[in-house]
Structure formats: C-alpha cells, structure tokens
Structure 1
Amino acid sequence: MSAAGHVLAARNWRIDWLWIPRGIGLGLLAFAIFGPLVNLLLWTVAERWYFPHSLPLQYGFSFWPRVFAPRGDALASLGTSVSIALLTVALSLALAVPAGYALARLKLPFRAGILLLLLLPQAFPNLPVYVNIARLFYEIGLNGTVLGVVLVHTTHGLVYAVWIATASFSAVPADLEEAARSIGASGPRAFRDIVLPLAAPGLMASAIFVFLESLDEFTGTYFVGAPDIKTMPLLLYTASAGGNYQIASITALVLLVPSIAFMFVVERFLSADVLAKVGR
C-alpha cells in the first residue's frame, strides 16, 4: 500500500471524540423531555410505590375506575373543561378575526404597539392579576360562573388568536381580494369567498392554540371559578394536594392526550409563510 493509502486508512480509523459530548447532550435532552412523561406513565399503573424504591412495587389499574366513576368527577370536569374551552375559542375568534384582518390589511397607526398591547396579560405575574380580576368579578356577580371563567381564559387566548390571525390574513395576497372586488364582488363577499378560505388553516391553528390554553388553564379558573366551576386542572390540583398521585397522574394523562394530538394538527395547518409573518 502506498503512503497516500496509509494516510487515508489512518483517517478512516480515526476516532471522532466529539460524539461523546454530543451523546451526553442528547441523552440529557431526552431525559429532560421524556423523563417526566415516563414517571407520569408509571404513576398511572402504580399500585404501591414509595421511597426509597425507584420503581413501583406493584402494578395495576385499580385507580382508573375510581377516576372515571360517577363520584370521581373526572367525566363531569372534562365536560366542563371542554365546554369552557369551546366557548373561549368562539369568543376569541369572534374578536380576533376582525382585529387580525384590520391589522393585516389596513394601514393603522401604531400597529406594532397594538400587537404589543395584546401581550400585556402575559407580561405581568398571573397571581396578582387574577386576584384583582376575581375581586372585580365578585362585585359584578361573575365570580363562580362559566362566563367569568371564559372571559379570563379569553384574555390569554386572545394573544394567540390575534397574532396568528394577523399573520394568516397577511399571508393571503391582497391582489386576490382586489381582483374579486374589480369584477363586482362586494367587500364582505370578497372576504367570505376569497380571503377567509385561504386564511382558514391559520385560523384553525389559532383556534387549537386557544383551545389548549383554555383546557390547561388553572390559576384563572381557580381564582374566578372555584369552587362552583370544576375543571380537569382543578381536579388534578386537588388530587395532587391530597397525595393521590395515581389519580393526579391519570388526570394529567387525560389532559395530555388532546394536547399532543392537537399539536400535530397545528403543525400541519401552520405553514412556513404564515409563521414568517407572525409579529410583522
């Protein structure tokens, strides 16, 4: 073998030591992501599990019927959570569609300031905000009502709804709407027949974001709705505070399933051109 061949063979057999830190980094990332999920799944089937044992001593499904029994309140709480989430989506989209269209199409002054203004509910700690909202709602009779909880959820869901709706309408070429207007279509008809169908995937994604945000909301529901309104996050909190980790884990798993399913739907509906216009 020639000298060049020996050099090439040596290079091929050279150990790439960079795989060690890369492997460690990927392992830590996988543990941070999947470790809590594995622990959650173990608690859903753990009959007996206590310190210092690292794994359950006994497995079974005896806690599952207790969660979904009529006295377990899981099904009723799930129905309440879904109903509130759907109402929140309807109210958020009713406000976000005209607002997003105006921000995307009209040359509004302080447009960037308006979009930043929508972020204010996220800019402050939730606890003092919800305490003051609960006090205000108590004075006007909205405390402990579904309407009060929906309004609180909408204050957070509106951020996703308006920002994504604005990006969705911005991604629709204005020339298409102008062409429809030029052949006699009215403004509302051009919006209904041209703009709205093209923006529908982004609006669907914003609706899913709002739905998931409402489904998982705890703090606002606790201060405004409890004890009259019982949702799945409140049931999860009650079970965790009482040390019923199996019931809390099963409840969390029920909440996790729609979140994962809807995230795949969001990934399909939110195209790259819509994401590129978020915040513009």
Structure 2
Amino acid sequence: MTTTAATRPTFSVDLWWIPRAIVLGLLAFAIFGPLANLVLWTVTERWYFPHALPLEYGVSYWGRVFSPRGTAMESLTNSVVVAFLTVALAMALAVPAGYALARLKLPWRALIMLAFLIPQAFPNLPVYVNIARLFYQFGLNGTVAGVVLVHVTHGLVYAVWIATAAFSAIDRELEDAARSIGASPLRTFRDVTLPLAAPGLLASAIFVFLESLDEFTGSYFVGAPDVNTMPLLLYTASSGGNYQIASITAVLLLIPSVGFMLVVERFLKSDVLSKVGH
C-alpha cells in the first residue's frame, strides 16, 4: 500500500504563541515584579548595588517593626482607628444622602452628585494645605478628629455614589408592597430597603476604609507629627533609605487591601455597578 502526496499528513507549527508569550511575560513582570521585589526586601538583611539578590536574609527587621520601642504598632493602631471612625462618619452621611438621591425627585440632582466629585477634581496638595491652615484656626491640626474629617471629605464620593447605586438597584415595588400592608416608611426602610442595599453599602464602607487606610497627603498636612499613621511611617522609612522597614509597612498595608477587595468583588453585584452615576 502506497501513500500519495495528497493523503500524506502535514504538520504545521503555530508561531503566534511566541509574541503572545513575550507579551504575557512582560505583563506578568510589570505586575508581579515590583511585588516580588517588595516581598524580598522584607526578608533582607544586607542588599546593595551591584548585587542582583540580597547578600544576607533574615527577619530581624520584623522584630524592629513590632518592638515596643518602635512606632509601627502605634501607627497601625492609629490607622485602623482613623479608618473605622472615617467609615462610621462617612456612612452616617452617605446612607441618607444616597437614599434621597436614589428615591426622591430632587432638583439639581446631577449637580449634587457632581459636587461630591469636587474634592477629587483638584490636586490634593493645594487642597490639603488650605485645609491644614483652616484646621489650625480651629485647633484640629494634630488631632485624630482633624485627620478623620480630612479622610471623610476624600472618601465621601465613594460612599455616596455607591450608596446611591445600591438604593437605585432596589425594585420600588418591594417597598410599595410593604407600605400597602401597613408598614410605616421607617419600618419599610429598616426591614426591606436597608437589608437589600446592605451588600452595596458594605462595599461602599470597604472602599472608604481602604481609602482612609492608604491616605497620605491629608494625614501628613493635618495629622503629622502628632497622629502618625502607616502611610506616614512608610514615607519616613523610605525617605530615610530604610527599605526593609518601608517594605514591611507596605506589606502590612497591602494585606487588608487585597482581602477587602475580594470581599467587594463578591458583594458588589453588576446591577449595583450599572447604577453608579445614574
């Protein structure tokens, strides 16, 4: 039995995987390269140019960070306390504001929504310099209350916009059904509206918490040096050339950010996201 050229199997090699692999490799390096370098610095004892890898590994700098004489625990405590207070105040303002913007026929509604973006529309530096001058007149500089107020002004846009989207995504007929069987407006809001909006409100609170946890400029101009936070500690360590302390601080800030973003991805549904800005 003979095999003709027409029936002979042919083999082809797809060479498109080469540029794809190069692009994916470069993208992975751009994303994970800095993170790998950050993690490597956290376990480095000695590392200097021109060596590509650390000369000595260890965890002694972790002990320095969490030692009683260090400021890391104080900074971490301040950051967490300020973040929780910021969330409490921002959500206390955002829940009624979001419900009103979602349910009431307010005049100039679009302009009101746009007004919450004003703190984001200008460079942070001149805004916080002027806020610091204003707070100095009222004795708020160097206080936790002053830092919380600055963080609230910065995070309120996320709180209000996401809260408005969460309430807008709720079917009005569910509220009308509760009212038709005798529920008061307050009970309807408490038993129907608020539980349905809870996932979106939780996502909003997490965004505000992470924004407060990572806020540097406002904390620097209003709180430093009396209210020391983790971003301020990170800045101080980096400017002083202590990359081990700076890297450990960055990792401590990165862990809750990644964890909370996974929670946001689970609870912030597509129907809520479609209502943001509407």
The TM-score, its normalising length taken from structure 1, stands at: 0.95
Q: Secondary structure at the match of 1:47?
A: strand
Further displaced range: 16-25 or 150-159: 16-25
Q: Distance in 1 between matches of 2:217 and 2:272?
A: 31
> Corresponding residue for 2:91?
93
**1:69-126 Cα shifts (integer Å, max 9, x gaps):** 0111111110110000000000100010011101111122222222121111111110
> Corresponding residue for 1:176?
174
Q: Distance in 1 between matches of 2:158 and 2:217?
A: 18
Corresponding pairs, count? 276
For residue 17 of structure 1, report the CA deviation from its aligned partner.
2.9
1:188 maps to amino acid: L
1:152 maps to amino acid: V
Structure having the larger proportion of residues in helix: 1
> Which among 215, 221, 224 is matched to residue 223 of structure 1?
221
2:272 maps to amino acid: V
> Which among 157, 160, 163 is matched to residue 159 of structure 1?
157
For residue 4 of structure 1, report the CA deviation from its aligned partner.
7.0
Q: Distance in 2 between matches of 1:273 and 1:4?
A: 57
Identity %: 75
> Corresponding residue for 1:57?
55
Task: Write the mapping of 1:12-23 to structure 2, written as runs, cut at 5 A.
Answer: 13-23=11-21
> Which among 230, 235, 238 is matched to residue 237 of structure 1?
235
In structure 2, the CA distance between the partners of 1:94 and 1:5, relative to structure 1 (3 Å rule), is farther
> Corresponding residue for 2:184?
186
For residue 19 of structure 1, report the CA deviation from its aligned partner.
2.0
1:116 paired with 2:121, answer no
For residue 21 of structure 1, report the CA deviation from its aligned partner.
2.4
For residue 5 of structure 1, report the CA deviation from its aligned partner.
5.3
In structure 2, the CA distance between the partners of 1:17 and 1:138, relative to structure 1 (3 Å rule), is same
In structure 2, the CA distance between the partners of 1:57 and 1:189, relative to structure 1 (3 Å rule), is same
Q: Distance in 2 between matches of 1:20 and 1:34?
A: 21
> Corresponding residue for 1:256?
254
> Which among 129, 145, 152 is matched to residue 127 of structure 2?
129
> Corresponding residue for 2:80?
82
Q: Distance in 2 between matches of 1:4 and 1:276?
A: 56
For residue 2 of structure 1, report the CA deviation from its aligned partner.
7.4
In structure 2, the CA distance between the partners of 1:250 and 1:183, relative to structure 1 (3 Å rule), is same
Give structure 2 stretches of 5+ with no counterpart.
Answer: none
1:89 maps to amino acid: V
Q: Distance in 1 between matches of 2:4 and 2:216?
A: 72
Q: Distance in 1 between matches of 2:5 and 2:104?
A: 71
Further displaced range: 160-169 or 16-25: 16-25
> Which among 102, 105, 109 is matched to residue 104 of structure 1?
102
Give structure 1 stretches of 5+ with no counterpart.
Answer: none
**1:191-214 Cα shifts (integer Å, max 9, x gaps):** 000000000000001100000000
Task: Write the mapping of 1:188-227 to structure 2, written as runs, cut at 5 A.
Answer: 188-227=186-225
> Which among 268, 271, 275 is matched to residue 269 of structure 2?
271
> Corresponding residue for 1:148?
146
In structure 2, the CA distance between the partners of 1:5 and 1:115, relative to structure 1 (3 Å rule), is farther
In structure 2, the CA distance between the partners of 1:2 and 1:172, relative to structure 1 (3 Å rule), is farther
